[in-house]
Amino acid sequence: MAENKLHEIDAKDVEKLTDFIIGAVERTGCKGLVVGLSGGIDSAVVTKLCVDAIGADRVLNIFMPTSVTALDDYKGTRDLSKLWGTTYKMVDIQPAVDAFTAALFSKDIAPLERGNISARCRMIVLFNNAKKRNYMVVGTSNRSELMMGYFTKFGDGASDMVPMADLYKTQVWEVAKIIGVPQEYIDKVPTAGLWEGQTDESEMGVTYRDLDHVLNGFALSMTDGEIAKDVGIPEAKVAELRKQVAAMEHKRTPAYVPDVKFNV
């Protein structure tokens, strides 16, 4: 059985991430970067990586609250932007969410449906601001979220680049410590903030620390039984997570196109 051990992040890994961002900016010729700042660890890490890569004066943070956004996030996002010297903008997307909800004629709208609408409204704001400035939109998803499909397609899953696409959530916390993200953001309970009381781990039914080892086990071609024994969770849960990862493949790939050449 392969040793199910996650790579320990160090300063050289962080340098690779900032080099990736620098390279993407140089290739596209864009003038700067837009990052949706939520108050959570992922957007905080991405913001700091962008600042370290190209300078704070070329990074725009946009905070996009709704009626269910925690009050702490209003202050938290402003504090982070001020700390790192980025340009800060707040756009209340609740009116847009309400308008789309009404237009879709959803009488008994579910929290997930409203959450998806909110995420797609945020995407519109980010790309609109990026277009005006010739900036790129930087995604904040990590490998754990991408594998689980824990994002909204064409919502928070939409971006021009995703620096943390190969980092598990627990590795994001390691990056945060290295680059100097304040401890209060590292300790914050992970939540997408799509509805009141929502948390990532309660919704998935597994902690990120366990999840990351399960996902790494999949990458190492370990069996469900081997992973369950290694991580210390029921084999049935491992099988459930494997099924989830497979079912969410369509969210990680481009749109399906026919494998036919008409013009050759």
Residue pLDDT, tens place only, 8-21: 999 999 999 999 99
**Residue entry with tokens 């945060």:** 176
Residues 145/151, Cβ–Cβ less than 8 Å? yes
Q: Supply the mean pLDDT for the chain.
A: 92
For residue 198, pLDDT over 80 is answered with no
Tell me the mean pLDDT in the region 73-101. Answer: 96
Band of pLDDT at residue 27, cut at 50, 70 and 90: very high
DSSP-derived secondary structure letter, 77? H
Angstrom CA distances, 140 to 10, 45, 129, 243, 260, stand at 20, 8, 17, 24, 35
- Percent of the chain having pLDDT more than 90? 79
Least confident interval from 37-41, 168-172, 197-201: 197-201
Whole-number Å distance between alpha carbons of 194 and 203 = 12
pLDDT confidence of residue 260? 87
For residue 99, pLDDT over 70 is answered with yes
Q: What is the pTM of this model?
A: 0.93
pLDDT confidence of residue 112? 78
Angstrom CA distances, 17 to 70, 92, 114, 168, 178, stand at 30, 31, 33, 14, 12
Q: Cβ of 75: how many Cβ atoms within 10 Å?
A: 11
Q: pLDDT for 108-150, tens place per residue?
A: 667 778 889 999 999 999 999 999 999 999 999 999 999 999 8
> CB within 8 A of 238, min separation 6: which ones?
214, 217, 224, 227, 228, 231
11-189, CATH topology level? Rossmann fold (3.40.50)
For residue 232, pLDDT over 90 is answered with yes
